[in-house]
Structure 1
Amino acid sequence: MDSGDRPLRKISEAFNEIANSINSHHQNPNPNQQLDLELASFSRACSLVSALFGCLGIAFKFAEMDYVAKVNDLCEASKSILTLQSMIEKDIEQNCVRKPGSHTRNLLKVKRGLDMIRVLFEQILLSDENSLKNPASMAYEQVLSPYHGWAVQKAVGAGMYTLPSKQKLVQKLNEDEASVRREMQNYVSASAFVIVHIDKLFQSLELGIDW
C-alpha cells in the first residue's frame, strides 16, 4: 500500500520536511538571514491535516469546518505571498492583523488546529485505552476550549461520545498499531518545531498569541 492511501504518513512526512528546514537553519544560522517559512509548503502541509479532523467525526465538526476554511485562505494567499512573515507584515501595514478573516488571524487559528492534533496524538500515545474520549477531551480543553464560547464547548463535549475507537481510527488511517504509533510520534515531534517557530514569529513582531 503506498503513502497515497495513508493520510497520516503524508502528514508526518510534510511536517518533517518543514521541521528539518527549521532545524538546519538553527544548526547553521546565517546572521544576515532570518529563517522564514514558505507559505505554500506550510499551507499545503496544513491542508493534509484536514483529513484527520474528518476521521474524528462529529465531535470536531466545528473545528474541522473552521480549520478547513482558514487553511483554504492561506493556500489562496500563498499564490501571491511568499512567506509567513511577509504575509503577517502585510497585515500589520494594513492595520488588519486582528480583524476577523485576516490572514494573520487565520494563521493563528490554523496553528491551534495543528497544536490540538499534536496534543491528541501525545495523549493517544500515552494511553492504553481503546477510547479516544479522554485524549480528545484533554486536547480540546488544553488548546481550543479557552477560545470557544459556551455553546461550542457544550456541542464539542456532547460530540466526544461519538468519537471512533482508537482501533477504528487506526483502520481509517490505513495503518497498523506499530505504524500508527511511529507516524503519530513523527507528527508530534515535527509539528512542535513548527508551532514554536510560529509562536516566536508572532512574538518577534510583538503581536502576542493569546487572542
Structure 2
Amino acid sequence: MERVVVRKDERIMTRLADEFEQLAAQLNSPAPITMEIGKFTQACRLVSPLIRHLGVASKFADIEYSAKVSVIEKAGKSVNTLEDSLDREIQQNTFKPHNSASRSLIRVRRSLEMLKIIFEQTMASSEKSIMDPVKTAYNQVLYPYHGWALRKTFVGALHTLPTKSLFFKRVKLDEASAFVQMQRTVTALAPLIHYIDNLFHSRESTQELLRLI
C-alpha cells in the first residue's frame, strides 16, 4: 500500500491545503468539469498522515481509508476520471459491491466530510481537547451507517485523542498557522464534496449508494 512521504521540512497540513485547493480550482474552471483519478487520489493520500497523528486508536481508520483510496487508484488504471469510473461500473453493473470503486468513492467522500467538520469545529472551539470536534463529525457523518459495535469502538477511541496543542505539535504548526491551513482546507473541500454528491445524484442508478454504508 502506498505511503505518502513527507520531507522533514514539509508541513503536511500546508501540503494538504495546497492539493485540495488545486482540485477546487479545477472544479471552478469554465471548462467541462472532470476529475482526474490520479490527482484526486494524490490529494486524498495526504489525509492519512493526519489520521495517524490522532493516535494509535486511529490506526484502523487509516487502514480502512487507505484501502478505499487504493480501490479508486486501481480503477484509474482502466479509466482516467472519476466520471468515467462511475459510468464504467454502471455499464458493467459492478457499482454495488463493497469493493467497487463507486462504493469506495462514497466512503472516501465521507472521510473528507469528517475532516472538514473536525477542522471547522476545532477552529470554533475554545476547548483544549479535540474530542468534541471529532465526536461531532462522527455523529453527523458516520454514526447513521454504523452498528452498535462500531459505535462503541468509536466512543472508546475518543479518550485516546491528543490535545489540540499536541496535535499541532505533531503537524509542526502553532495554533494560528494550523487554523490558517484548516480554513484553506475547509474552503477547498466544500465544492469537492458537492461535486462528488452530484456525480451520484445525476445518475439515477447510483443515487441509492449514497444511503449505504
Calculate the TM-score normalised by the size of structure 2. 0.91
For the residues of structure 2 that align with 1:132 and 1:199, how far apart are their CA atoms? Answer: 28
Measured against aligned partners, the alpha-carbon deviations of 1:49-101 in whole angstroms (never above 9, x if no partner) come to: 11111111244333222111001121222233200010001111111211110
Q: CA deviation at 1:4?
A: 5.1
Residue 3 of structure 1, CA deviation: 8.4
Structure 1 gaps, min length 5: none
For the residue of structure 1 that corresponds to 2:46, the secondary structure is helix
Offset of residue 5 of structure 1 = 2.5
Q: What SS does the corresponding residue of 2:142 show, helix, strand or coil?
A: helix
Find the aligned partners of 2:73 and 2:161 in 1 and give their Cα distance: 29
Note if 1:13 corresponds to 2:14: no
Task: Specify the SS of the correspondent of 1:11.
Answer: helix
Q: Look up the SS of the partner of 1:162 in the other structure.
A: coil
Tell me the residue number matched to 2:129.
131
Determine which of 87, 110, 113 is the counterpart of 2:111: 113
Corresponding residue of 2:66: 68
Instruction: Select between 68-77 and 84-93 the one with higher mean Cα deviation.
Output: 68-77
SS of aligned partner of 2:132: helix
In structure 1, the partner of 2:183 is: 185
Separation in 2, partners of 1:99, 1:177: 42
Cα displacement string for residues 90-124 of structure 1 (whole angstroms, at most 9, x for unaligned residues): 11111121111000000000110111011000000
Partner of 2:146: 148
- Following superposition, the deviation at residue 144 of structure 1 comes to 1.2
Aligned-residue RMSD, C-alpha? 1.5
Correspondence for 1:22: 27
- Mean alpha-carbon deviation: is it higher for 12-21 or for 73-82? 73-82
Distance 2:95 2:16 in 1: 28
Q: Quickly say closer, same or farther: Cα 1:101–1:4, change in 2 above 3 A.
A: farther
CA distance in 1, matches of 2:71, 2:195: 20
Tell me, yes or no, if the aligned pair for 1:137 and 1:160 is still in contact at 8 Å: yes
Q: Secondary structure at the match of 1:129?
A: coil
Q: Do the aligned residues in 2 keep the contact of 1:47 with 1:68 (CA within 8 Å)?
A: yes
Write the deviation string for residues 13-70 of structure 1: whole angstroms up to 9, x where unpaired: 000000011112xxx3x5xx4x111111001100111111111124433322211100
**How many residue pairs are counted as aligned between the two chains?**
203
